[in-house]
Amino acid sequence: MRDIEQSCFWLATRQDVAENPPLQSNCDADIAIVGAGFTGLWTAFFLKQLEPGLDIVVVEQGVAGYGGSGRNAGIVSACIDHSHALAITHFGRSEAAKLARLGMENIDELAQFASDCDFQRTGLLQVALTAKHLEDCKENMAVAEGLGIKDYRLLSQDEVRAEINSPLYLGAGFVSGGGIINPVKLVDKIKREATRLGVRFFERTRVLAIDGSSVRAEGGTVKARRQVILATDAYSHHLFPKLLFRFIPLYDYILVSEPLTEAQRGAIGWHNRQGVTDGRTFFNYYRLTEDHRILWGTSEANYYPPNRVDQQCDHSEHHYATLRESFKRHFPQLSDLEFVYAWGGPIASTTRLTPFFGTLAGGKILYGLGYTGHGIGSTRVAGKILAHLALKLPSELLELKMVREKPFPYPPEPLRSLSVKMVTHSLRRVDRGDNPNALLRLLDAMGIGFSS
Ligand SMILES: Cc1cc2nc3c(=O)[nH]c(=O)nc-3n(C[C@H](O)[C@H](O)[C@H](O)COP(=O)(O)OP(=O)(O)OC[C@H]3O[C@@H](n4cnc5c(N)ncnc54)[C@H](O)[C@@H]3O)c2cc1C
């Protein structure tokens, strides 16, 4: 089994790693955080900003960024919900406008913080591969404008192909605000800042159980005087199976190529380096890296029953073959490009495609998870939310419906596998051009927006 720290481009090319030693004895802290991905790291960082005297311990089973935070595509959206249209469906128009404003403020602050993490605010292109996608792009632009976002714009076929030269493009929507980042540089930056503020980290230390305020880990127990925070996203059910009621763990897969030559770069254009997605439900997402490689991923995520999240799921030859094939269809002029990195990672998906928050053990444990493949921007907001909740401090963020309300539940197994199969099959047909079937229409009517 290829190790993720060698197969994931970001982790394999990580520089100046300052790994902390594992936990080797019992200790106390005001706050114990489980998981050193973006959620755990931002929470630690904001807790220290709000109350500098706090003693905080973070326990991580791998290295910081071992989960989705180190394995993602690094395409940063300003949207902290999944899309503005879905935010209206789930939370109403005025809440969607508030989320749009908060998302924009968040990305501005993130850009300032991450100026040395290869963060380029290129904006994002949502490319249309069919006439229906083009209609959807127009609708997205209109929805954004209705929420007060003025600088999205529609690109014609010629305009989008002048940006990136693919024969499949019929047009695109340009979505401002976001961009591309090296996610592991961001992980390392937050960790460095948190360490500077006095946060203590224990890496390669798996938490075995959390009993109220006691975090029992390999090597010792951390006793939290004030709060335990669970920041384990798609791994959360390993410690609390009942959280599966609200999320499903899925695996996304990614390839990264060798660096493009001058001639290959000339053949594709892409001078403005935007992050790209397309209009399908199971879309491809792609971007350039700092050293001119192409990262090519798919949102056609895989569910491994029953709710498996383990190293056996880190690679899927089937997904890698499909990714290579889809890349060649998009960019035939680069059909001999070699992809030299390939990996997968877990995401926690909710029925409303946005995170949820709550408590366990009578309030001793706080959690926030379920970013559904869209966590780079929204984990920063989640960190603020969790920090305010932990310290019982007021914030407008705590009033958000996303924080106060839970998503519609997922069924347990064996119904879960069956419903995943049925919904996936239905969505594939929509991607092939069919209208949504009765099942998708029913889910839409229930406010479960998979087909949107
Ligand atoms: C392949 C892929 C592509 C993606 N692409 C994008 C993208 O382009 N843009 C975007 O915005 N989002 C993307 N995402 C989603 C984004 O990466 C996640 O939403 C985000 O990283 C979640 O952060 P987190 O800290 O909540 O979870 P994680 O990063 O998964 O962190 C959880 C941490 O908890 C640790 N942990 C779990 N259990 C234990 C335990 N028992 N003891 C100790 N530690 C434990 C894990 O090792 C892990 O480090 C992608 C995700 C994947 C997998």
Decide if 337 is inside a domain.
no
Lookup: tokens for 45: 């960082």
Decide if 20 is inside a domain.
yes
Q: Pick from 32, 27, 30: which is nearest to 60 by CA?
A: 32
Using DSSP's 3-state secondary structure scheme, residue 64 falls into: coil
Q: How many domains does the chain have?
A: 3
Is residue 80 in contact with ligand 1, taking CB distance under 6 Å? no
Domain containing 171 — which CATH number?
A: 3.30.9.10
Q: Pick from 228, 202, 206: which is nearest to 217 by CA?
A: 206
Same domain, yes or no, for 23 and 170? no
Tell me the CA–centroid distance for residue 233 and ligand 1, in Å: 6
Kindly tell me if the per-residue pLDDT of 22 is higher than 90. yes
Instruction: Provide the whole-model pTM.
Output: 0.97
Mean pLDDT across 439-451: 78
Decide if 152 is inside a domain.
yes
- pLDDT tens digits, residue range 300-339? 899 999 999 999 999 999 999 999 999 999 999 999 999 9
Domain extent at residue 206: 4-71+183-246+352-404
Most trustworthy range by pLDDT among 76-90, 134-148, 388-402? 388-402
Decide if 335 is inside a domain.
no
Same domain, yes or no, for 131 and 270? yes
Residue whose CB lies within 8 A of the most ligand 1 atoms, among 23, 66, 276, for a mutation test: 66
Ligand 1 atom nearest to CA at 375: 19
List 294's β-bridge partners, or say none: 288
Kindly tell me if the per-residue pLDDT of 431 is higher than 90. no
Decide if 102 is inside a domain.
yes
Same domain, yes or no, for 301 and 395? no
Most trustworthy range by pLDDT among 26-30, 77-81, 151-155, 371-375? 26-30
Mean pLDDT across 407-421: 94
113, burial (CB in 10 Å: exposed 0-12, middle 13-18, buried 19+) = middle
What value does the mean pLDDT of the chain take?
95
Same domain, yes or no, for 205 and 266? no
Decide if 272 is inside a domain.
yes
- pLDDT tens digits, residue range 126-163? 999 999 999 999 999 999 999 988 889 999 999 999 99
Mean pLDDT across 221-244: 98
448 pLDDT tier (thresholds 50, 70, 90): confident
- Look at ligand 1, atom 16, and give the residue with the nearest C-alpha: 375
Same domain, yes or no, for 31 and 12? yes
Residues present in the chain in total: 452
Residue whose CB lies within 8 A of the most ligand 1 atoms, among 175, 216, 232, for a mutation test: 232
Same domain, yes or no, for 62 and 24? yes
Same domain, yes or no, for 263 and 169? yes
Give percent of the chain above pLDDT 70: 99
Decide if 62 is inside a domain.
yes
Is residue 275 in contact with ligand 1, taking CB distance under 6 Å? no
Note the pLDDT of residue 452. 37
Same domain, yes or no, for 20 and 168? no
Note the pLDDT of residue 315. 98
Mean pLDDT across 79-106: 93
Same domain, yes or no, for 91 and 46? no
State how far the Cα of 34 lies from the Cα of 385, in Å rounded to an integer: 16
- Look at ligand 1, atom 3, and give the residue with the nearest C-alpha: 72
List 359's β-bridge partners, or say none: 366
Same domain, yes or no, for 160 and 271? yes
Decide if 347 is inside a domain.
no
449 pLDDT tier (thresholds 50, 70, 90): low
Same domain, yes or no, for 57 and 187? yes
